[in-house]
Amino acid sequence: ETGVTQSPTHLIKTRGQQVTLRCSSQSGHNTVSWYQQALGQGPQFIFQYYREEENGRGNFPPRFSGLQFPNYSSELNVNALELDDSALYLCASSLWDRGQETQYFGPGTRLLVL
């Protein structure tokens, strides 16, 4: 086990609604990244937080936003949900140390948008 936990495990929403997904990082890790994984594909990078600030973002619209808290837990918020947002959402925590970083993934939250 990686020590990274996510909640909830599954979620069903309707188009237009908003959703908040949560992640608890591995102890000692200062960086969290969020990914979207559509069925049959590899994870796609959404954004990364380092010491509570966003320091990198993938090709996702602004309705995808996040937070990282002082205890390094994190949230992913998605507004105005669309059908194509249905996917597995993964968070990964890591320790940024002199440019080296291995990301450890949580089990994911499966989101279904109807």
Partner 1 sequence: GESVGLHLPTLSVQEGDNSIINCAYSNSASDYFIWYKQESGKGPQFIIDIRSNMDKRQGQRVTVLLNKTVKHLSLQIAATQPGDSAVYFCAEIFLSGGYNKLIFGAGTRLAVHP
- Using CB under 8 A, list all residues that contact partner 1: 2, 4, 6, 33, 37, 39-45, 48, 50, 55-56, 88, 90, 92, 94, 96, 99, 101-108, 110
Question: Cβ 110 to partner 1, closest distance in Å?
Answer: 7
Strands 31-37 and 109-113: unpaired
Closer CB to partner 1, 39 or 84, in the complex: 39
Task: Give the C-alpha distances (Å, rounded to integers) separating 108 from 17, 85, 97, 98, 100.
Answer: 20, 14, 25, 28, 24
Question: Cβ 21 to partner 1, closest distance in Å?
Answer: 13
Closer CB to partner 1, 80 or 86, in the complex: 86
Closer CB to partner 1, 60 or 104, in the complex: 104
Which runs of E-coded beta strand occur in 29-102? 31-37, 44-50, 53-57, 64-68, 74-78, 87-94
